[in-house]
Structure 1
Amino acid sequence: MKALLAALAILAATPAFAADKHAGHNHAAPAAAALVDGTVKKVDKPAGKLTLSHGPLPNGMPAMTMAFGVKNPAWLDQLKAGDKIRFGMEDTGGVLTVTRIERP
């Protein structure tokens, strides 16, 4: 039992498991901060999705064409097939979601 408690104490003290002691600070994960070049292939307003042809993603996914959710549905009104963008994305509950869009 002592060994179990000691192991739990060590895990709780490691940064991966410890509570964020810097609450309130904006510490974006490196993958979330990276922007990727992409081309809009399809805008699907009813589904709230954006299909993009993109380069390699920060999460290790290779270049391909795929659909993403969008953080801000208003972006779907501002984009059209053929638009060149740079975008940031995050995995939100198992769904890759565009969280930032810039025009080059």
Structure 2
Amino acid sequence: MTAAALPPPTRAKPVMRRVWFCLGCLLVIVTPPVALLPGPGGTMTFALGFGLMLKNSRWAKRRYVLFKRRWPGTGAWVDWGLRRASARRRVARDRLAGAACD
């Protein structure tokens, strides 16, 4: 299937957005007990839950923006870990600016 044949992306319905947000909250809440088990389970459950929360909640996005303004270095690492498009744009912009300074 070519890119032209794909249907346009649609936004999730409000009920499904709430379901995904609640699932994300549940994953974040379950993280501490899962983290006690051997292996990377705690990290994975937190990352999945946090990603679902950011993707489906304006409230979570606003809180995340405030967090990034207060601690920009940590916010950059979180963006990178979540593979956010903003992190990729920032890296490309910094590389371009570094090349222009040389």
Query: Between Structure 1 and Structure 2, whose CA radius of gyration is higher?
Result: 1
TM-score range, shorter chain: under 0.3
Q: Could you say which structure has the greater relative contact order, defined with CA pairs below 8 angstroms and 6 or more residues apart?
A: 1
Given the two structures, how large is their TM-score scaled by the length of structure 1? 0.22
TM-score, normalised on structure 2? 0.23
Larger strand proportion of the pair:
1
